[in-house]
Every structure is written in structure tokens, then in C-alpha cells.
Amino acid sequence: MAEPLDPRMFDPVCPSSAMPIQIGDKWTAMIVLCLEGGRRRFNEIRVPLRGITPKVLTQTLRAMERDGLVTRTAYDENPPRVEYELTELGRSLLTLIAAARAWSEHHLPALLEAREAHGPASASSRWSRGTESGSPQGRGPSFR
């Protein structure tokens, strides 16, 4: 819990960019993984989620709080300090995420291979990035 989050925790070049599995909205699963090791502060979570804007992080966390997946604790200090922590319910998503990762590990290569074999030119729709730029947009990095 004390250790800082690895900025490379989610690899933007990771093949699971193409993974056909999504938990919650775009960032939810990654946030759950960020909080797996214990409570984290707002800007702490932003680090591995490179590119997430504060607006989007706020609204995702608010939705997760509303759904009982995380708790938000604001300390009346200065500068302000807010900590987010997984609830039991949020923690229950970890097994599901693990299942998704397991599927990915076993079957994603086959999917990617099929995609490449089927239409090398037209394969640039849907889950893969349209352009060949490595910019962290598109569907964004998924959990690996």
C-alpha cells in the first residue's frame, strides 16, 4: 500500500487494447486494479492511468462510489487530501477481472491472429486503433 503505483502498470501497447471485455466503463477495471493494494489518493491513481483527465477520473470515481464499489474519504487538511478505497463489492470485481485476464492470456493471441489473417487492411476498425499512431487514445489501454 505504501509503494507508489507503477506508471507502466497499464501498457498502452498491450494487446488487450483489443480485448473484447470491459468492466464498467472505460477506466473502471483499471481503477479497481489501482486500488487493489489499498487506499490511494486522487493524483496517485492518475499516474498509471496516463492520459486520463481529472474530469473523467472524477466522474468515473463518483459513479463507482455511487455504485458502492469504492469509498471516498476527504480529510479536512491543506492542501486537500482525498483517499479512495475499494469496498467489499468493488473487491468482488477482482475475480471477474482475473477471469478476463485469464481469457486474454489463453485466447487473445488466437483472436489477434484471426483478425490479422482475415483482413489485414480492414482490421483497423472496432477494437483496434484506426490510425497506426501509438497515441494513447482509441479504446485506450486495457488491463493486461
Partner DNA sequence: GATACTGGTTACCTCAAAGATACCGGGATA
Partner DNA sequence: TATCCCGGTATCTTTGAGGTAACCAGTATC
State which H helix or E strand residue 74 sits in: strand 70-75
Nearer of residues 21 and 47 to its own copies, judged by Cβ: 21
Amino acid at 83: E
- Phi/psi for 53 (5° steps) reads -90, 150
Which chain residues interact with its own copies by CB under 8 A? 20-25, 28, 63, 65-69, 89, 92-93, 95-96, 99-100, 103, 106-107, 110-111, 113-115, 118-119, 122-123, 125-127
Nearer of residues 125 and 133 to its own copies, judged by Cβ: 125
Provide CB contacts within 8 A for 144, sequence distance 6+: 10, 11, 14, 15, 16, 101, 104
- Binding site partner of 133, from its own copies, DNA, none, Cβ cut-off 5-8 A by kind: none
Grid cell at residue 50: 496516463
Which chain residues interact with DNA by CB under 7 A? 25-27, 41-44, 51-56, 58, 60-62, 72, 74, 78-82, 125-126, 130, 137-138, 140
Nearer of residues 40 and 101 to its own copies, judged by Cβ: 101
Spatial distance between the Cα atoms of 6 and 15, rounded to a whole number of angstroms: 19
Grid cell at residue 28: 473502471
51 φ/ψ sector (left φ>0, alpha ψ -120 to 50, else beta): left
- Binding site partner of 55, from its own copies, DNA, none, Cβ cut-off 5-8 A by kind: DNA
Nearer of residues 74 and 110 to DNA, judged by Cβ: 74
- Binding site partner of 82, from its own copies, DNA, none, Cβ cut-off 5-8 A by kind: DNA
